[in-house]
Amino acid sequence: MDRHKNLTRVRAEMIQTAWDRGKTDTVKSLASEAIETLGKDAPGLISNWQEWLLKVSETEGDENEIIQRLEDLMNSDPTTDIYLKLKEMVPKDEWPPYLRDTLLPVLQTSYRGRSLMPEIFVQEKMWDKLLEYLKKNPDLNLLKRYESFIKETALDEIFELYVQLIRQKLKHNTGRRYYQEVCKTLNHVWQLGAKKEVEQLTKELRKLYSNRPAFLDEVDKLKF
C-alpha cells in the first residue's frame, strides 16, 4: 500500500487503518504529506486531510494547534460548524478582535468564505455589517433570507435594495416568469410596510414598460 499511497483511495485507507490502530503520528504524517504533495492535483480533497489533522490535534489536546487546524479548514472548506468550533476555542475576551482581524479577512479570500459571512453576522448580531454585505452583494434571494434581522432598523435601505434589484431584473430580462417574480417581490415589499413607495414605483414601471403587455398583465394582478 505504501508504494501506491499517491492514489487517494489507497491513502485514505491507510489513514483510516492508522487511526483505528491509534497511530496518530502516522495519521498526521500521511495527511500532511498528502496536503503537500497531492494538494495541487486534488484541491477538493485538501479539507478531508485537514480534518484528519484536526482529529489528531483534538486527541492530543493542543489548543493552539486545534485553532490552527480550524483556521486551515476555514480557508479550504468554510462551514458554520467550523466557525462555531473556532468561537468555542478562542477565549471570549480575544474573540472580537480575532473575528475582526483574523477570521473575516480569511473568509474574504474565497467565494465560499464570503457566502458564509452573512450567517456569521447574524450569529454575532453584527447588523451594520449584514446590511453592508447585502448592499455589496445585491441578490433577491439573499435579501429575502436576511431582511427579517434588520428590517426594524433599516427598512428604507432594504426598500432601496429591492428597488435596485427589481429595476435590474426588468432591464436585463423579459418573459412572464421574470415579470411574475418582479410582481411577487413588489407585493412582498408592500407587505413589509413600504406601501406608498411601492405604489409609486409600480406606476413608474407601468409607464417605463408600457410596451410589455405580459408585464402589464402581471401588474394588473397585484392586489394593492
| pLDDT at position 40 | 73
| pLDDT at position 113 | 94
Domain spans in the chain, listed from the N-terminal domain onward: 139-224
| pLDDT at position 147 | 95
Amino acid at 165: L
Cβ(159)–Cβ(192) below 8 Å: yes
| pLDDT at position 43 | 76
Cβ(117)–Cβ(143) below 8 Å: no
Q: What is the pTM of this model?
A: 0.84
Residue 170, all three cell numbers: 426588468
Helical spans, DSSP H, in the chain = 8-20, 24-38, 46-60, 63-76, 80-89, 95-98, 104-107, 111-123, 127-136, 140-146, 155-172, 176-192, 195-208, 213-220
| pLDDT at position 42 | 74
| pLDDT at position 223 | 83
Cβ(144)–Cβ(188) below 8 Å: yes
Rounded-to-integer distance, Cα 94 and Cα 103, Å = 12
> Which positions of the chain have pLDDT values less than 70?
none
Mean pLDDT, the chain, rounded, equals: 93
